[in-house]
Amino acid sequence: MSKLDGLSIPMIMGDWVLIMESIAVRLKKMKSIDPDRIDEDELADLYTDQQNLEGTLNYIKIEFEKEYGSLPNVNGLESQWTEKGFVRNTCNK
């Protein structure tokens, strides 16, 4: 498999933002699972999935910033990417 350079799947900026939000929500749900309530095999699978999703999210964020400069302002609101996802903070007035 060759190394990908940039966001090689042609989609609009909003689609990439939705993907990042979806991954962040899934990661949040994974982190909320009590490891004492699942067996070792499920925990190992969960950990692997979590690591893969974190790597994918970081890759998309880096490539998104290269492609678009930064995360967009939505409806005139200052937006910021956090661990919790895409957060709209304050009004730009």
Tell me how far apart the alpha carbons of residues 36 and 38 are, in angstroms, rounded to a whole number: 6
Residue 25 pLDDT greater than 70, yes or no: yes
Kindly report, residue by residue over 40-57, the tens digit of the pLDDT.
999 999 999 999 999 998
In sequence order, what are the beta bridge partners of 87? 80
Q: Rg (Cα) of the chain, in Å, rounded?
A: 16
Q: Phi then psi for 38, rounded to 5 degrees?
A: -125, 155
| Rounded average pLDDT over 7-21 | 81
Yes or no: say if 71 and 62 are a contact pair by the CB < 8 Å rule.
no
Residue 90 pLDDT greater than 50, yes or no: no
Tell me how far apart the alpha carbons of residues 5 and 21 are, in angstroms, rounded to a whole number: 22
| pTM metric for this prediction | 0.68
**Total length of the chain:** 93
Assign 7 a pLDDT band (cuts: 50, 70, 90).
low
